[in-house]
Structure 1
Amino acid sequence: MRKIATMSAYLAVTILAVLWLLPIALVLMNASKSYRDYTQGNMWAWPESFQLFANMKEALHMGELGRGMLNSFLYSSLGAGISILLAALAAFGIVILRLKGGFYWFLLIYSGTIFPFQMYLVPLFKGYQKLGMYDTFWGMLFFYVAIAIPFCLFLLRNFMTTIPYEMIEAAQMDGFRSFGIFSNIVAPLLVPPVSVLMLFQFTWIWNDLIFGMTLSRSETVRPVMAGLSTMQGMFFRSGVTTLLAGIVLTSIPTLILFFSLQRNFIKGMQLSVKS
């Protein structure tokens, strides 16, 4: 009976994996075709000639995709990194230093995730215009850092509560001050959850479209998804194969990040569930 249940589970997982991979395979197949091959053939047919890299090169030179990828890389890496650092320091103060009223500070910061993000669009747009932050690199970076902090604080606070306080007391007896405790004791333990957060926040910022289109308009500031959306307006000039190649191209950085953080990501997910 157990063998049948195991085989059924493997079969179900295999079916789900195939269903998940089919759309990806379809996109890759059609992104590798020439425009003529795509329009005159079947979308399920193999490409007659491999044109993926040529289509990617064309996509980079169309619209705002090339510059958008650079912008999004800066927003994603800096935004995720700064928000994680600030959240780690805040969680350290709340949990380890036992800041007075720390739980209420946590609730205040985490309350930023209660409301749907769409509710922030109009106030943000008007506020950014009044403050001169609209369509600026620093304005976009400031927003991405601020929007990512609440979830980072939530995860890191929960993780730090699992650290035995005896370790902190022992470090204090050895003469470590607050920054020394954070950098030498707590920070090395944060590698797995930070890997999870880095992947989550990098991916979220990289895939953001609505705020990128709302808070920016110029090619030098707009993130990649906003640039990719402009390619759809050039659909008949660029061709669907170029658009699909652009989609494949924009997914590469997040895939590289996932595989590079895979070991710590899995460990961090396990610790997050336990905490």
Structure 2
Amino acid sequence: MYPRPIPAARPGARALYAAGVWTVLVLWLLPLFAIILTAFRTFEDVMSGNYWGWPEQTDLLGNFTAVFTQTDMLGYFTNSLIITIPSVLAVLVLSTMTGYVLSRHPFRGSTLLFATFIAGNFLPHQVFMIPVRDLMVSLGLYDTYWALMIFHVAFQTGFATLFMRNFIAALPDELFQAARAEGASPRQILLQIVLPLIRPALAALAILLFTFIWNDYFWAIVLTQTDAVKPVTAGLANLRGEWVSAWNVISAATLFVAIPPVLMFFLMQRHFVSGLTMGAVKG
């Protein structure tokens, strides 16, 4: 399943592997480097065609000032927070409860129910576009925060249930047997035993969900229309002009939008790594 380690006796192969890794890393980081450079440029420097060269004139402070004074990016940023934070919390609560039941309290049809939870993740989003939009229109929720929140909670709960079920199933059976022997109810077992043990998994899942929902663009343009409820991804697209686009300002806005998920990852990096590896093996 995993590639075999390259022995030290084959320095040529090891050097070739290292060169390949660095090549892929550079290619992956190249667009980010271009955005950072463009955020430093002046509008005149961008219009002169200097896209990849070192900026001849820099105005990073002016570009970021323009983001907050000439655009509605703060409003889009607030909309994303209003949509993302409640959605993440709701998915964490629902997936923890469903994962606990499906892993520790199986019942007739639980396997089919679990398959139903994760089935939607195997279908392309475009398949749901018209039905979901028509559903939100019929419910009177189109172009509201609730439209995006309901969809993200419904769609992400399937993946999160798979994630949490595997982690809870990896916990030792002896813990649950001892708790039941002491007369603990399923609710007490969940709150007092399971939750403290799966905190790293919850942290890892929270980072993944926050990133998925925060960076969503497709549903942001399908389920919203006015700037009053648009999240940052749709707001960034609005910064493009009809004839001329201030790419220096757009690049600065892009860096500003990327701050929350990057900051959240670095603040919870230790929990993220331990959470991803906690349920890797069972036994």
- Normalising by structure 1, report the TM-score: 0.91
1:202-241 residue pairs with structure 2 within 5 A?
A: 202-233=210-241, 236=244, 239-241=246-248
Q: Does 1:157 align with 2:189?
A: no
1:189 corresponding residue in structure 2 = 197
Cα distance in structure 1, aligned partners of 2:270 and 2:15? 27
Query: What is the Cα deviation at residue 196 of structure 1?
Result: 2.3
Query: Following superposition, which runs of at least 4 residues in structure 1 exceed 6 angstroms of deviation?
Result: none
Q: Does 1:2 align with 2:33?
A: no
Cα distance in structure 1, aligned partners of 2:197 and 2:174? 15
1:4-153 residue pairs with structure 2 within 5 A?
A: 4=11, 5-40=13-48, 42-153=50-161
* 58 and 172 in structure 1: CA distance in 2 versus 1, 3 angstrom threshold: same
Cα distance in structure 1, aligned partners of 2:49 and 2:108? 68
The residue type paired with residue 149 of structure 1 is T
The residue type paired with residue 243 of structure 1 is I
Once the two structures are overlaid, the 10-residue window that deviates more, 205-214 or 90-99, is 90-99
Cα distance in structure 1, aligned partners of 2:73 and 2:83? 15
Once the two structures are overlaid, the 10-residue window that deviates more, 95-104 or 215-224, is 95-104
Query: What is the Cα deviation at residue 273 of structure 1?
Result: 4.0
1:271 corresponding residue in structure 2 = 278
Q: Give the secondary structure class of the aligned counterpart of 2:82.
A: helix
- Cα contact 1:64–1:228 (8 A) shared by 2: no
Query: What is the Cα deviation at residue 96 of structure 1?
Result: 1.7
- Cα contact 2:240–2:246 (8 A) shared by 1: no
- Please list every run of 5 or more consecutive structure 2 residues that lacks an aligned counterpart in the other structure: 1-6
Cα distance in structure 2, aligned partners of 1:234 and 1:77? 33
Once the two structures are overlaid, the 10-residue window that deviates more, 115-124 or 7-16, is 7-16
The residue type paired with residue 204 of structure 1 is F
Query: What is the Cα deviation at residue 213 of structure 1?
Result: 0.9
1:247 corresponding residue in structure 2 = 254
* 74 and 123 in structure 1: CA distance in 2 versus 1, 3 angstrom threshold: same
- Please list every run of 5 or more consecutive structure 1 residues that lacks an aligned counterpart in the other structure: none
The residue type paired with residue 264 of structure 1 is H
Cα distance in structure 1, aligned partners of 2:211 and 2:71? 22
2:266 corresponding residue in structure 1 = 259
Q: Does 1:172 align with 2:180?
A: yes
Query: What is the Cα deviation at residue 183 of structure 1?
Result: 1.3
Once the two structures are overlaid, the 10-residue window that deviates more, 74-83 or 38-47, is 38-47
- Cα contact 1:235–1:243 (8 A) shared by 2: no
Q: Deviations over 1:254-273 (max 9, x none)?
A: 11111112112122222354
Fraction of identical pairs, as percent: 28
Q: Deviations over 1:58-102 (max 9, x none)?
A: 123444422111111222222122112101101111112334432
